[in-house]
């Protein structure tokens, strides 16, 4: 029998509570639900707790390849039947692969939960990986790689990441390479599938108009036959060391120069995570941020400039992205360094910090307004924290951050010796040296 653990309802505001429950099936699969009875829809997802950073160099891209392949047919349904059944119930079936997760998800009206669950479980539990389908999908993904290589925003990020986490899986592309994708065969896919698609490496989450016990019973009928996996989890390597670098890549076809400037940052569960999000918001997280106001509004140097946090289970990065004309790159870098230095040398005002806090709280609350986002939130909190955080708790953590806290983090993060830069475009004879990156 399934062992049910009731998670205490998490209060979002004094007037609204989240009804979250958790059940662990006898084979080890965790099932999470959030009841949202005011909706008529339900979103559900199967989350695999490993992604591209858990691949060896020889099979780089196989997580993404398997994600594609499960849609090509099962032992009881063809790809066409899968599409037809989902369309018949008006569902939205999707999937994605990240550095640390793979997710298969579907959203339907509450009256179609049984049909949706049957299709979703069939995809995940009964793929066929036929050689003909594998060969066709290789061509599709090779075209996807070409599309990304033609996208300068993607390309500069890959250029930065591959050199920042050099020779580590975290720096390798999620899609893989032409060489690795071309090498995949049925045996490799089934070996990978058996190792990763196990109950202890998966989480099933759902949110919407559902009743927990009834839903869990349906999940157990679909997944109860999945053999328990060993108690040991996947082997995890030590956190990768970041590599300071300046990487210039010339691409004559581009009108703009794309740049990514970044620093190592703490992991997703770090105690300072909310302060770091606030620091990022102040630096480049919106239209009122310092970088946007200085570089776009005051100087007109760039149309797009922003900063972004990318936290992972054991490390992370904080990066600044911009697209500028070639003759404006040095001035853009100079002003960026000035803003980083200001954050290190001067405490932010209470009013500026207050705006950042309001922005962060609003983004978090508005990000939970759909059943799909809550379904994802459930799974991620379980996978990274093993517990659930209510908005009241998060708000208290955000409100506790002080200007001195922001300044301390700026000094810890924005160190010249750990900075890395990738520049992509029609660079001509332009050079960027380490002396240009002092903050």
Interatomic CA distance for residues 376 and 105, integer angstroms = 9
φ, ψ for residue 293 (rounded to 5)?
-65, -40
Side-chain-side CA neighbours of 369 within 13 Å: the count stands at 6
Rounded to a whole number of angstroms, the CA Rg of the chain reads 23
Sheet holding 257-265, edge to edge: 246-250, 420-425, 257-265, 316-324, 302-311
Reply yes or no on whether 67 is catalytic: yes
In contact, 294 and 302? CB cutoff 8 Å = no
Identified catalytic residue from 8, 34, 58, 67: 67
Which sign does the torsion angle of CA 212, 218, 220, 222 carry? Answer: negative
Q: Which residues are catalytic?
A: 67
């Amino acid at each position: 029998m399934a062992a049910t653990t009731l998670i205490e309802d998490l209060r979002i505001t004094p007037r609204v509570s989240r009804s979250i429950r958790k059940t662990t099936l006898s084979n080890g699969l965790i099932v999470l639900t959030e009841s949202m009875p005011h909706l008529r829809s339900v979103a559900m997802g199967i989350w695999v707790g490993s992604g591209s950073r858990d691949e060896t160099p020889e099979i780089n891209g196989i997580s993404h390849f398997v994600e594609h392949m499960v849609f090509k047919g099962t032992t009881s349904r063809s790809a066409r039947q899968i599409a037809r059944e989902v369309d018949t119930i008006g569902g939205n079936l999707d999937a994605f692969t990240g550095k640390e997760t793979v997710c298969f998800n579907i959203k339907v009206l509450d009256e179609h939960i049984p049909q949706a669950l049957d299709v979703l479980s069939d995809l995940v539990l009964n793929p066929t990986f036929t050689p003909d389908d594998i060969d066709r999908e290789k061509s599709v993904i090779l075209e996807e790689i070409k599309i990304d290589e033609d996208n300068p925003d993607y390309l500069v990020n890959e250029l930065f990441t591959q050199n920042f986490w050099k020779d580590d899986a975290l720096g390798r592309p999620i899609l893989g390479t032409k060489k690795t994708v071309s090498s995949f065969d049925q045996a490799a896919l089934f070996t990978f599938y058996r190792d990763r698609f196990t109950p202890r490496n998966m989480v099933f989450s759902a949110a919407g108009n559902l009743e927990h016990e009834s839903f869990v019973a349906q999940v157990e009928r679909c997944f109860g036959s999945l053999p328990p996996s060993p108690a040991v989890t996947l082997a995890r390597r030590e956190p990768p060391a970041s590599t300071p670098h300046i990487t210039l890549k010339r691409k004559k076809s581009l009108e703009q120069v794309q740049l990514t400037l970044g620093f190592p940052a703490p992991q997703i569960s770090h105690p300072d995570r909310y302060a770091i999000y606030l620091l990022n918001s102040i630096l480049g997280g919106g239209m009122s941020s310092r970088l946007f106001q200085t570089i776009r509004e005051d100087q007109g140097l760039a149309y797009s400039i922003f900063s972004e946090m990318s936290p992972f289970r054991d490390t992370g990065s904080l990066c600044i992205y911009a697209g500028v004309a070639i003759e404006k790159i040095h001035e853009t870098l100079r002003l960026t360094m000035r803003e980083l230095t200001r954050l290190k040398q001067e405490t932010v005002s209470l009013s500026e910090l207050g705006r950042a806090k309001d922005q962060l709280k609003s983004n978090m609350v508005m990000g939970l307004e759909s059943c799909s986002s809550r379904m994802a939130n459930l799974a991620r909190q379980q996978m990274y924290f093993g517990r659930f955080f209510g908005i009241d708790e998060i708000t208290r953590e955000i409100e506790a951050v002080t200007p001195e806290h922001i300044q301390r983090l700026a000094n810890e993060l924005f160190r010249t010796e750990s900075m890395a830069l990738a520049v992509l475009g029609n660079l001509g004879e332009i050079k960027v040296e380490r002396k240009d990156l002092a903050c």
